[in-house]
Structure 1
Amino acid sequence: MKKPIKIHNVDVSCIVTAAGKNRRMREDLQSKGMDIQHKLLFKINGEHIINYTVKKALQTEIKECVVVLGHFMDELYSALEHIEDPRLKIIENPDVNVELSQTLVNGVLNAKYDYCLCLAGDQPTVTTETMQNLVNQLLRCPEPENSVSILARGKTGYLDSAKGLGMPFACHCLLLEQYLHGEDDNLNPILRKMVADGVSLYGVHGQNELELININRYDDYLKVLEKME
């Protein structure tokens, strides 16, 4: 597949969230009598899921990749230390018991550049092409400082609703910081507030339906494993 070309000379940070409790995967493994393992440490094509996601991000035009850890950080550190790339930066949530919004804001506050590409560590199916397209779409917007480009779940182009939307997405760091400040919630309610306030939302077409899968349950992992190996 042809590599996407960056269309603007703008430096971009990538933020990868990897701080969750692993609750649903833990429940599934316990119910199946399997050894408890963090979902981001399962492997796809011989790579830990977290490494698989980060390495794809590092194949785009990003200038840094900030991975935010929380729960199970020691185990995830052990996996990530095998990635030898000076753009990789690993940070920790001061309090591990927070929602996604605070993990994201921690990433934003530690990002060096004005724009950010935000990825979930448990979405290794998102292609490098889609990641770059999210950035390219944002930078094409008439007002990129007041816009969000996001992986579409149906309609693409300009969107008047955030219904069903979540990671991955790209936006200006200051915009994200503004809406995340003081919030302790998942992403979708924050996106809805943005839309209500007049922030422009653009849906980006994905490469395949597999990109929409978050690996939360063991069956999710098996489905991804079947399709990607």
Structure 2
Amino acid sequence: MSISTVITAAGKNSRMRKDQLARNLELKNKLILPFGDKTVIETTIDNALSLNVDECIVVLGHYSSEIKEAIFDNYKDKVKFIENNPVDVGLSVSLYNGLSNITSDFALCITADQPTVLPETFEKMIETSQESDDPFHTISILRRRKSGLLDTAEGLGMPFVAPRENLMKYLENEDDNLNPILRKIFADGYTFYGIKEKNKKELLNINHYDDYLNLLD
């Protein structure tokens, strides 16, 4: 069964900008902040590209020009960039737009501010999805509370592996964060498997400047 990766990189960056203003720092999108010898988004993309997937889509929106200026030349032959239109939409719309640009049976869905999630963890998600009893009604997801077979979708978000067409049916006509949608999918009887992280940093997203500093330690 074929699988592609969709990376969402379209957010408003509002919490990071607020923190940067409070610290008198240069305003810069969190996705292009330095992370080792790359940027945050480059690390996330490279982790995805190391996997055996059919293609990689990056969905841009807010600050797309700033992000593309920083990374486009390095990745134009490796990933497909698409842009939300209109720009001011929820995460569910960004993900739907990304899924609309792939043809694979399954999608590994990642947010660009997750550079610490290791390729091995993504591989475990893919493996768990593909080896389940019913892959087309299974969500394999980075755990938040419990790992293994889950009894709730509360608190869950990306990254996860899901059947593309089925997921798109839930995302269509929605403009929301993902957790309410994942709870609907769970309520409809889908099996959710929580994948345990390799280390605690994999569970952290970069929302605030302190999150970024903590991940640099």
If the length of structure 1 is used for normalisation, what is the TM-score?
0.92
Gaps of 5+ in 2: none
Give distance in 1, aligned partners of 2:78 and 2:181.
Answer: 29
Matches within 5 A, 1:11-26: 11-26=2-17
| C-alpha displacement of 1:60 | 0.8
State the partner residue of 1:166. 157
- 2:130 aligned with 1:139: yes
- The amino acid that maps onto 2:7 is V
Amino acid at match of 2:205: N
CA distance in 2, matches of 1:162, 1:87: 33
Counterpart selection for 2:50 from 48, 53, 59 = 59
- In the TM superposition, residue 79 of structure 1 has moved relative to its aligned partner by 2.4
Does residue 77 of structure 1 match 2:77?
A: no
Note the C-alpha offset of 1:82: 3.7
Q: 1:84 to 1:184 in 2, by over 3 A?
A: closer
Alpha-carbon distance in structure 2 between the residues aligned to 1:15 and 1:59: 14
Match of 1:6 in 2: none
1:213 to partner: Cα distance: 0.5
The answer to whether 1:41 aligns with 2:24 is: no
Specify the code of the residue in structure 1 equivalent to 2:165.
L
| Residue identity matched to 1:189 | P
Residue aligning to 2:185? 194
For these two proteins, the number of residue pairs brought into alignment is 217
Hey, what does 2:143 align to over in structure 1?
A: 152
C-alpha distance after superposition, 1:91-148 (max 9, x if no partner): 0011110000000000010112111000010010100100111111100111111110
Paired with 2:76 and 2:25, the residues of 1 have a C-alpha distance of: 34
CA distance in 1, matches of 2:46, 2:27: 25
How far the C-alpha of 1:62 sits from its partner, in A, is 1.1
1:84 CA displacement: 4.5
Alignment check: 8 A CA contact 1:51 1:79 kept:
no
Mapped partners of 1:77, 1:114: distance in 2? 28
Structure 1 residue aligned with 2:120: 129
Unaligned runs of 5+ in 1: 1-9
2:196 paired residue number: 205
